[in-house]
A and B are shown apart, each in its own frame.
Chain A
Amino acid sequence: MSPAPAVQIMPPEKPVPMVSAPQQQPPLAPEPETPFKVEVQDLNVYFRANHAIRHVTLGVKPQTVLAVIGPSGCGKSTFIRALNRMHDLVPGARVEGRVFVDGEDLYARGIDPVLLRRRVGMVFQRPNPFPTMSIYENVAAGLTLNGIGGNHAEIVEHCLRQAALWDEVKDRLRHAGTSLSGGQQQRLCIARALAVEPEVLLMDEPASALDPIATAKIEELIHELKEKYTIVIVTHSMQQAARVSDNTAFFYLGELIEMGPTAQIFTNPRERRTEDYVTGKFG
């Protein structure tokens, strides 16, 4: 990992966006002008009376990977699901605050969450291929279900190659998606998410159900996908966060405790609680 550039960290109470620069930039030239791809301002999520996300403010630059870490139940999934309005369908869930993608507020009135979700794709903790569909149909699902035309065969091959699955499945595209191994299924789900050409990819512990080899493949994949996509990944593994991300956000009890370049979070955190967590004192 190359050392990431310095960033300004704001205390979470103040709704001022944090700045993070792309990784490959020379350290001394932070570019404050680069607009955020995803920007969150004073985000709150409630499940009935449970205040699960508290006043979170942060920003993610284009073509970077943000890792979200924190102990179980601290609200990582809740946070990431707020970024493509997955809470809309949860009875009793309430979201307050703003989430901008390319400067457009997702929670503004009149925004169609359906159109939004095409721009913000999601990969889940457990692989969830559609059981009634073949491998091919799974990848093309976003296109067929949305009635998008085009050369599906070509798109399917491209996405499967991007997800590093093509060589393993090219001879059995008509087999059930669920006939693959767990790791292959997860890559299939990534290919499925890529087929609708999102700009942002949300990944909620994509490797937690996988063995080390499959995990390594997924991590490699994230590295490659970064060229094109902005990625937010939730992970339980500190090593994984260190390996794949440019920036890391540490959540604790629904609050964003600290966010900064990954190297700094792991080697020189500002907050005591972050240090305790990354050094394994709790969690």
Chain B
Amino acid sequence: MPSREAIIDAPASEAAAAQHHASHPGTSNLGDRLFNSTLWILGAMILVVAGLIVLNLAVAARPLAKDHSLWGFITETQWDPVEDRFGALTFLYGTLVTSMVSLILAVPVAIGLSLFITQFAPPKLGRVLTMPVELLAAIPSVVYGLWGLFIVVPWLRASVEPWLGKHLGWIPLFQGPPIGLGYLASSMILAVMILPTIVAVSVEVMKTTPEATREAALALGATKWEAVMMTVIPYSRAGIVGAVLLGLGRALGETMAVTMVIGNSPQISASLFAAGYSLPAVIANEFAEATSSVHVAALAGLGLILFATTFLLNAGARVLVNAVQRGPRRVSG
């Protein structure tokens, strides 16, 4: 776009210019104007899509507001479509527990893996190393659900849960009958599914560590690991936190795999072995069959909570990641 200021107005030559202009009908101007306005419209579409999402969720959830307060909605445990009583706490609890446990499982592996790819592996291998991670990301979630239901759940039921119960059974988390389906199964599958997200972003931010800083640490006599701890980790810490938040966002919203292995039982239980329910799972299971408008609205309300949470998480994560990628202006000490 030729900036207006770049064009000097010379009043004396304006008449001549106008004449000149007439002799060359503005072939480019029309095209440019069309192209530019098309681009602006297309760009605005992203904002329109965002607006559509918020608006439609709000409209769909509106009937709920009639006899449910927001506070009541998120603190009630009872979910009874027949009686038109809707409380989301059970689902919030399930979503929160499975997401947190999946983070605990995935984050150390993801960070170690990212360090291996960026710091320890021979640089010549390059992209080959990220391939398995990219493949993990490319597998559809319903396939993870299938795998979880028929492979992970039986394995947990037969080996892992009995073993945990026997040795760590004094912790409430590992008590109860080993049924396989439940929080633990969901968390494990979620951990696998969010691993690629965390690794992809962590690798990107770790790559932005200036090579010179790391070499300086090595030159001071630090071992490779010490150099990593002294330079790469502090430099990319905010970005890694962002990567973890992005992973958390994925875990909160993941639907199919969780629906297939969490057990879909609306209860709050301290044990990870127990069956539970999650926000996306209840939407997936009930939405198509919901008949009363309040029921649909309650499900949309769950969707709105999910949207708001993931939106804020993602926004925060992007701020952190972008700040690290933009370079030396560091976020926090």
B10: contacting residue among A85, A88, A109, A114, CB under 8 A:
A109
Q: How far is the CA of A98 from the CA of B8 in the complex (A)?
A: 8
Interface: A110 (CB within 8 A): yes
Q: Are A107 and B7 in contact (CB under 8 A)?
A: yes
Q: Are A112 and B28 in contact (CB under 8 A)?
A: yes
Chain B residues lying within 8 Å of A89, measured Cβ to Cβ, are: 1-2
User: Which chain B residue lies CB-closest to A146?
Assistant: B27
Q: Are B3 and A112 in contact (CB under 8 A)?
A: no
CB distance from B137 to the nearest CB of A (A): 30
* Chief secondary structure at chain A's binding surface: mixed
Q: Are A109 and B14 in contact (CB under 8 A)?
A: yes
Q: Which of B18-26, B276-284, B298-306, B313-321 contacts A (4 or more CB under 8 A)?
A: B18-26
Chain A residues lying within 8 Å of B14, measured Cβ to Cβ, are: 108-110
Interface: B135 (CB within 8 A): no
A110: contacting residue among B1, B2, B20, CB under 8 A:
B20
CB distance from A84 to the nearest CB of B (A): 13
Chain B residues lying within 8 Å of A87, measured Cβ to Cβ, are: 6
Give how many A-B residue pairs fall within 8 Å (CB-CB).
63
Q: Are A109 and B2 in contact (CB under 8 A)?
A: no
CB distance from B331 to the nearest CB of A (A): 27
Chain B residues lying within 8 Å of A115, measured Cβ to Cβ, are: 24, 27-28
CB distance from B291 to the nearest CB of A (A): 56
Interface: B17 (CB within 8 A): yes
Interface size class of B (residues with CB under 8 A): 20 to 34
User: Which chain A residue lies CB-closest to B10?
Assistant: A108
Q: Are B10 and A107 in contact (CB under 8 A)?
A: yes
8 A Cβ contacts from B19-75 to A: 20-21, 24, 26-29
Interface: A96 (CB within 8 A): yes
Interface: B211 (CB within 8 A): no
Q: Are B10 and A110 in contact (CB under 8 A)?
A: no
Chain A residues lying within 8 Å of B8, measured Cβ to Cβ, are: 95-98, 107-108
Chain A residues lying within 8 Å of B288, measured Cβ to Cβ, are: none
8 A Cβ contacts from A75-102 to B: 85, 87-89, 91, 93-98
Interface: A105 (CB within 8 A): yes
Q: How far is the CA of A103 from the CA of B108 in the complex (A)?
A: 71
Interface: A104 (CB within 8 A): yes
A91: contacting residue among B3, B16, B20, CB under 8 A:
B3
Q: How far is the CA of A88 from the CA of B29 in the complex (A)?
A: 14
Interface: B13 (CB within 8 A): yes
Interface: B289 (CB within 8 A): no
Chain A residues lying within 8 Å of B29, measured Cβ to Cβ, are: 112
Q: How far is the CA of A115 from the CA of B29 in the complex (A)?
A: 11
8 A Cβ contacts from B248-275 to A: none
Interface: B9 (CB within 8 A): yes
Write 10 A-B pairs (CB below 8 A) sorted by A numbering: A89-B2, A95-B6, A95-B8, A98-B8, A107-B10, A108-B20, A109-B13, A110-B18, A110-B21, A112-B26
Ranked nearest first, the 5 interchain pairs of A and B with the lowest CB-CB distance are A110-B17, A110-B21, A88-B2, A114-B28, A108-B17
Additional A-B contact list (16), CB under 8 Å, known A109-B14, A115-B27: A85-B2, A87-B6, A88-B2, A88-B3, A88-B6, A88-B7, A95-B6, A105-B10, A107-B10, A108-B17, A109-B7, A109-B18, A110-B20, A111-B21, A112-B26, A112-B27
Name A residues whose Cβ lies closer than 8 Å to a Cβ of B.
Answer: 85, 87-89, 91, 93-98, 104-105, 107-115
